[in-house]
Structure 1
Amino acid sequence: MSKRILMVLTSHEDMGLSGKKTGNWFDEVATPYYLFKQAGHEVVLASPKGGSAPIDPFSYDEMFMTENTHKFLKDPAAMRDLSNTSVLRNINYRSFDAAFFPGGYGQLWDLANDSFALQMIQDLIYTNKHVALICHAPAILRDVKKPNGEPLVKGMNVTGFSNSEDDELSLSRHLLFQLETALKEKGANYQRSEKNWVPKVVVDGYLITGQNPATSPFIAKTLIEQLAKV
C-alpha cells in the first residue's frame, strides 16, 4: 500500500563564520527519494524556508556522486521538487505516514533549533509513525522532548555522524555542536560502526537513525521495510 513520506531538508547553506558552504548531502536526498518512489510511496519535500533547498557543494564531488545523484540532476521532476520545497510550517505532517531527514551540516543551524520540526518529531513518534534521520540529521533530536519533558533520546538507541568522522574532515571547530557528544549528553545510547564511513542503521521503536552517507540506501530500505509492517 502506498504511503506518504515527508522529506525534510535544511534551508541553511553557510557553515558558521568559516566561509564554507554547506546544505543537504546530495546522495542522502537522491537515493532515498528514488527508493521511496520505486516502492510506490509519495514523497513530498519541505524545508524551513521553502523554495530551493541548498545542496552541499562538496557532495557534488565525483567521489561522492552516485547513480542516483546523476539521475536526479537529469530528472526535471526531481529537480523541480528540490527547487520548490514546501514551507515546513505550512505542512500538515499528521497526514503523512513517516518523515525522513537527509543529513548535511546545515541541519545543525536551522532544523536543530526549529520548534516546529522538534514538535513534529515528537508528535509523529508518539502517534506510532516512523521518523528516520541520517548522518547529521540526528542532531535535530538533541532538543526533542518526550511528553513528560525528558529528552526523547534518553535511554534510546541511536546513531549519527560520529565525532571522529567530523574530526577526519577537519570541520569540528566550525560546528555549533557535535552530534555524538550532544546525544550522549541527553542520555542516548549512541552506537556507531567500528570504523569511520562504514554504514550503520539503528532502529528503536519508531525512530530510525543512520550514521553516515554510506548508510543512505540502507536507511531508506529500512524505512520502507518498517512501513510495510504498518
Structure 2
Amino acid sequence: MKKILMILTSHEGMENTDSKTGVWLGEFTDPYYELLDHGCTITLASPAGGEPPIDPMSKLTENITESNRRFNSDVSLLASFANTKKLADIDHNDFDAVFFPGGHGPLWDLSSNTHCGRIIVEMLQAGKPIAAVCHGPAALIAAEKHKPRLLKDKKVTGFTNTEEALVMRSDNIPFKLETRLKELGADFHSALIPMTAHVEVDGLLITGQNPLSAGPTAKALLEALGVTKTSSSNSAKSL
C-alpha cells in the first residue's frame, strides 16, 4: 500500500477583487479517489492546518465532477478535509509520493512555503515522485529556492497564461505560473487547445495543466509508483 501526502493550499484571498479562491475542488477529489481506489493511503496537509478554503467557482454546476458528488457524501473524507494536518508537523519520510492539487491559492502560499520547498527537494533526492496539477506546480517555486536550478530544462506544465486570461483572473493573482516557471528555466509545454487535458512526466516530476488533467496526473503518479492493479477502496483510507 503506497502512502501519499496530499498538500492543499490554505489561501483564499485574491488581489484587486472581493472574489475568493482556494482549492479547486475537482483537482482535489479527482486525484484523491483515483489514488484511493488503487489502494493508496492518503494524508491531507496544508500550511495552516485545519479546513482549507474551497474556490467557490469550483462548486458551480458546470464544474461539478462525479468525484465532487462522491466527496459530498463521504463522511470520512469530509472529516479529514476539515482537519488537515499542519505542514510543519509532517514527516515526509513517512510517504512514498506527494501530490499538489490546484486552485489559485498555491500562487500565494505554497510557492513560498519553506516546508513545502524542503519536502519537494528531499523527496526527489530520495527517489520519490512529486505530482502537481494546474496551479499546484507553484509549489515547485518554493523548491527552487531550496535548490537553485532544480527546474532547469525540466519538462513541466501548469495553468497557462492563455487559460488565465480565459478565466479572467490575470489581474487578481501575484504572478502568472507559466511565466514564472519559464523564468526559472523550466521547459514548459501545454496542450494545443486550452482547457484540455495535458500531463508532462520528466523523471520523478509529474505535472498536469488544468482541471481536466487532475485525474490523468494521478494516473501518471500511480504508474510512477508501479501501482497497476486496482485494489478495493475498502482497504484504503485518508488520514
Normalization by structure 2: what TM-score?
0.92
Q: 2:27 corresponds to which residue? A: 28
1:22 positional shift = 0.3
1:125 maps onto 2:96 in alignment: no
Between 1:113-122 and 1:137-146, the stretch displaced more is 137-146
Unpaired runs of 5+ residues, structure 2, are 229-239
Q: 2:70 corresponds to which residue? A: 71
Q: CA offsets, 1:95-150, max 9 Å, x none? A: 10000000010111111110110111111111100100000111221242387x42
Q: 2:218 corresponds to which residue? A: 220
The runs of 4+ residues in structure 1 deviating greater than 3 Å are none
Residue pairs, 1:132-211, within 5 angstroms? 132-145=131-144, 149-211=147-209
SS at 1:111's partner residue? coil
Over the aligned positions, Cα root-mean-square deviation in angstroms equals 1.4
Q: CA offsets, 1:15-51, max 9 Å, x none? A: 1341110000101111111111110010000000000
> Is the contact between residue 2 and residue 41 of structure 2 (CA under 8 Å) also seen in structure 1?
yes
Q: CA offsets, 1:136-179, max 9 Å, x none? A: 111221242387x4231111100000000001111111110000
Residue pairs, 1:41-60, within 5 angstroms? 41-60=40-59
Read off the aligned partner of 2:187 and give its amino acid letter.
N
Identity %: 41
Unpaired runs of 5+ residues, structure 1, are none
Cα distance in 2, alignment partners of residues 139 and 58 from structure 1: 20
SS at 1:215's partner residue? helix
Q: 1:80 corresponds to which residue? A: 79
Read off the aligned partner of 1:216 and give its amino acid letter.
A
SS at 2:14's partner residue? coil
Read off the aligned partner of 1:37 and give its amino acid letter.
L
SS at 1:150's partner residue? coil
Q: 1:109 corresponds to which residue? A: 108
Cα distance in 2, alignment partners of residues 151 and 25 from structure 1: 29
1:229 positional shift = 6.6
Greater relative contact order (Cα 8 A, min sep 6): structure 1 or 2?
A: 2
1:194 positional shift = 0.2
> Is the contact between residue 104 and residue 135 of structure 1 (CA under 8 Å) also seen in structure 2?
yes
Cα distance in 2, alignment partners of residues 142 and 86 from structure 1: 22
Cα distance in 2, alignment partners of residues 128 and 95 from structure 1: 14
Q: 2:3 corresponds to which residue? A: 4
